[in-house]
Structure 1
Amino acid sequence: MITREATAQDLEILSTFEQGIVSAERPFNSTLIDGEIHYYDLNEFIQSSDATLIVVEDHDEIIASGYALIKNSEKDYNKFKNYAYLGFMYVKPEYRGKGINKIITDELISWAKSRDVSEVRLDVYAENESAVKAYEKAGFEPHLLTMRLKP
């Protein structure tokens, strides 16, 4: 398996990964609208100097993806001015449980460190126990829980 930066030629398969993410998240988020949803501007991640979008290939087949985006802290009381936000973490179902998510997070964290970014964050649904465990295994720890009420 190899990791590499995504290119515009990868956008078709990456858009199917995006819909896979939406499908996986629907049971955890009743606020999502029906139909096709686009969370990401994947082309922007490919072109931006403040982002990297990587893919994992196995025998010339793209099997996984993830991105890191440098964001401003927006809070002057934080110890860091910017942080790397990770997202678009997707592994094809038949490749799950083989440590590929860890390969992706390690690569994205390394990219962030190479840009002198010391804080890395991501969002995961608290009820998504397998994803929470995977991120904890990669060294992440819970930080803040967003709660909602539909009056």
Structure 2
Amino acid sequence: MLYRLATPQDIPVLIELRKRQLIDEGSTPDTIIDNELNTFFERNFRDNSLVQWIVEEQDEIIATAGVIFYAFPPSYTNASGIKGYITNVYTHTSYRGQGLASALLDKLVSEAKKRHVPVLLLEASTMGKPVYQKYGFTEMDTWMIYRLNLSF
């Protein structure tokens, strides 16, 4: 298996993996989001705010995980204000349970350390939650969410 950083040339495959991830998590593909995903990947690769790793087996991308670095107001516990958000974590069904997600998390954590980013956040799917807990992520009880009813 080959671990490597994703490049803009990988965007078409990353789009497909993202859509598979969303469906696996229970989303209904009732909207075409390919253009929006393409714009997301192009913009975040260009400004270096997204670090996306992939795993290849026999020239096929079988797993991926990324971290987006973003600015938050500085605080006493994070003077730079930079945080990382782990996203786009997906492993092809036939390769699950082999530690690929954990190995990819190692790479994302290493990148965060290089950038002196002290906080990594993520939204765990039901399937992914045990992986993240085993890795050392803990649940937070201070965050809240408000969903706006927007139609596009």
Same fold (TM over 0.5): yes
2:118 equivalent to 1:135: no
- Relative to structure 1, is the Cα distance of residues 146 and 34 closer, same or farther in structure 2, using a 3 angstrom cutoff? farther
- Relative to structure 1, is the Cα distance of residues 37 and 22 closer, same or farther in structure 2, using a 3 angstrom cutoff? farther
Spell out, residue by residue over 1:24-56, the C-alpha distance to the aligned partner (whole angstroms, 9 max, x if none). 2226xxxx7723345741222322223211111
- Relative to structure 1, is the Cα distance of residues 134 and 43 closer, same or farther in structure 2, using a 3 angstrom cutoff? same
SS for the counterpart of 2:112 is helix
Query: Contact conserved, 1:54 with 1:67, CA < 8 A, in 2?
Result: yes
Structure 1, unmatched stretches of 5+, are none
> Which runs of structure 2 are paired with 1:59-74 in the superposition (5 Å)?
59-74=58-73
The amino acid across from 1:43 in the alignment is: E
> Which residue in the other structure is 1:109 paired with?
109
The amino acid across from 1:69 in the alignment is: I
Displacement of 1:69 in angstroms is: 1.3
Tell me the distance in 2 between the aligned counterparts of 1:33 and 1:14. Answer: 16
- Relative to structure 1, is the Cα distance of residues 45 and 3 closer, same or farther in structure 2, using a 3 angstrom cutoff? farther
Displacement of 1:59 in angstroms is: 2.4
> Which residue in the other structure is 1:51 paired with?
50
Displacement of 1:116 in angstroms is: 0.9
The amino acid across from 2:137 in the alignment is: F
Query: Contact conserved, 1:45 with 1:53, CA < 8 A, in 2?
Result: no
TM-score when normalising by structure 1: 0.81
- Relative to structure 1, is the Cα distance of residues 26 and 78 closer, same or farther in structure 2, using a 3 angstrom cutoff? farther
The amino acid across from 2:42 in the alignment is: N
Spell out, residue by residue over 1:84-111, the C-alpha distance to the aligned partner (whole angstroms, 9 max, x if none). 1110001111111110000111101101
Displacement of 1:2 in angstroms is: 2.1
> Which runs of structure 2 are paired with 1:26-41 in the superposition (5 Å)?
26=26, 34-37=30-33, 40=37, 41=40
Displacement of 1:142 in angstroms is: 0.6
Identity between Structure 1 and Structure 2 (%): 25
Query: Contact conserved, 2:23 with 2:29, CA < 8 A, in 1?
Result: no
TM-score when normalising by structure 2: 0.80
Tell me the distance in 2 between the aligned counterparts of 1:65 and 1:24. Answer: 15
Q: Matched residue pairs, number?
A: 142
Structure 2, unmatched stretches of 5+, are 148-152
